[in-house]
Structure 1
Amino acid sequence: MTAETESIDELKARYAALKETGQKEGEFEAKLAAAPTAPDTIPEDKILKQDVVPGGWYWTTNIKRGQTLRIVNTEATPGIALQVWNRHDPSERLNTADTIKVQWTARIGKGRVLLSDMGRAMMAITEDTCGYHDCVAGHSTAITNEKNYGPSTLRNSPMPVRNSRDNFQIAAAKLGLSKRDVHQSFCAFAPVITGEEGKLHWQDDALQPGAFIDLRSEMDLTICLSNCPHPMAPGGSYEPQPVAVILWDAGPVAADDLCRNGTAEAIRAYENTDPLFD
């Protein structure tokens, strides 16, 4: 056995050990069960900004490190796509593939962290009353709209039939970015699951009116939400419903914060992030 082969074998063994630890059930789930819950109603004096995003439209804002964005799915609309950039260096952006890979799970919910393509923590999911979000299938496009609704529906729809890809490109241009800066989305309120045969499916009846997700900003960010139906959402008509967005101050982060300490991978992500703000 050569030194190179031995090194490869050692790396494979290390990967297998990390995977086994990362996918081992029990430790994270216990921390999740013990974690505090956020209030259903945010105190007025904690609200920094609030708005309503109409169906089919997009919304952008800047978020400072430590502030929390709540997205409220008031009418159980199927899917809210999210783009995230480092406000001071937008070449650093959300990487959903690494978010899944590094944390050893595609079930990204409360206690998990949205990671950048530089291995840093961008947003932490501090509360989640839905439990179904998608990092795999992606956001809607003109092509997925035509496939899902058909030319007749697109022509005769009582509301403009928009899609997330176009929304993001328009928003990016207004932010001084380009279509090259549009990346794979984190899609909230999108119950995409994997069936026994390994195919992706939409979980019917998983969405409930009033469900919300809290996303704490772990660096200064620029974000864009697109309120267009997820490409896998069922239904032959284009009827996205409005969602509420609330930027609020959730207070100082506890030393035993679930997102920061939930897994070894999360701890490393914050070790990469915190020095930017020391």
Structure 2
Amino acid sequence: MMSSKTPIFTDTIPGAAHWSMVIPKGHVLQAKDLEGGANLSMLFYNPTNLLERYNAPDSLKGQHTFKLTAGHCLYSDMGRVFCSIVRDDTHWIDSVCGVANKQKVAEKWGERDYQKDRNQWKQNGYDALLVEVAKYGLGQRDLAANLNLFSCVKTDEDGNLQYLEDHSKAGDCIELRFEMDTLVVLTTCPHPMNPAEDYPFKPVELALFEAQPVREGDACVTSREENGRGFENNRRYHMHSACRHQ
């Protein structure tokens, strides 16, 4: 773990739930799949400028990969690094499949609503993220392409996307080290390609730690030449921010 041993806080997010928090620079968010088969959809925004948000295409093409895992960085649309992936027990984080909407969930698992079914209703990832971003004055047009932690989607020989079942095991952890203050928005609704017969309510445990300083030769900084430039963009951003507040 690239962090202190004692968590600042822990919380368990049940399946089909959503959550958000501003995580300060220099902290690690650890997500743990408690039962296996979880899905954690995430988006990132700059809390002081909500127009700056996670950019999936730049994160992939800038690091020459379709597969995000430990050693990779997650970029904003302004060329800065929101966070670095410092641990990934699953070795593959889906970055292209998005989230399911209400219609897709109803077609796959049937309809339930909160008024009748309470916490056993079948929430969908799109509406869950929309509820969270609305708390910050954002709406539909602010939902960018998201990450799906604990989920893996590969391509077959014909180029068709294939969801990998049993990709994440109970106890698997993914850790994100935040390189700038970041508004994190997430949901534990199931992956849109999950073939389960019954709607999967899979909880995820979150823990926040103070990160160790980024050292020379850090794997996330050096894994790609572009990442070095991303960290330099962060340095200049924080330098300018400090000057404005003097």
1:274 Cα deviation after fit: 1.5
| Distance across 2 between alignment mates of 1:214 and 1:124 | 8
TM-score by length of 1: 0.80
SS at match of 1:260: helix
SS at match of 2:12: strand
CA distance 1:271–1:43, shift in 2 (3 Å): closer
* Partner of residue 60, structure 2: 100
1:119 corresponds, among 58, 76, 79, to 79
Higher helix share: 1
* Higher RCO (CA 8 Å, separation ≥ 6 residues): 2
Q: What is the letter of the counterpart of residue 129 of structure 1?
A: D
TM-score by length of 2: 0.90
Are 1:254 and 2:208 matched, yes or no?
A: no
1:87 corresponds, among 41, 47, 68, to 47
| Contact 1:65/1:221 (8 A) holds in 2 | yes
RMSD: 1.9
| Contact 2:55/2:75 (8 A) holds in 1 | yes
| Distance across 1 between alignment mates of 2:4 and 2:215 | 19
| Distance across 2 between alignment mates of 1:193 and 1:74 | 24
Q: What is the letter of the counterpart of residue 95 of structure 2?
A: C
Q: Deviations over 1:168-225 (max 9, x none)?
A: 1111111232222221111101111111111110112322111010001111111111
* Partner of residue 201, structure 1: 162
Any unmatched runs of 5+ in structure 1? 1-37
| Distance across 2 between alignment mates of 1:78 and 1:149 | 17
Are 1:240 and 2:201 matched, yes or no?
A: yes
Q: What is the letter of the counterpart of residue 34 of structure 2?
A: T
Q: Deviations over 1:41-72 (max 9, x none)?
A: 9622xx11211101101111111111111110
Are 1:43 and 2:43 matched, yes or no?
A: no
Q: What is the letter of the counterpart of residue 256 of structure 1?
A: G
Taking every aligned residue pair, what percent have the same amino acid on both sides? 30
| Distance across 2 between alignment mates of 1:43 and 1:97 | 34
Equivalenced residues, count:
236
Q: What is the letter of the counterpart of residue 186 of structure 1?
A: L
Q: Deviations over 1:241-278 (max 9, x none)?
A: 21100111122111111101111111121122211112
| Contact 1:148/1:231 (8 A) holds in 2 | no
SS at match of 1:78: coil
Any unmatched runs of 5+ in structure 2? 240-246
Are 1:221 and 2:182 matched, yes or no?
A: yes
| Distance across 2 between alignment mates of 1:63 and 1:276 | 17
1:53 corresponds, among 4, 13, 18, to 13
| Distance across 2 between alignment mates of 1:139 and 1:232 | 9
1:263 corresponds, among 206, 209, 224, to 224
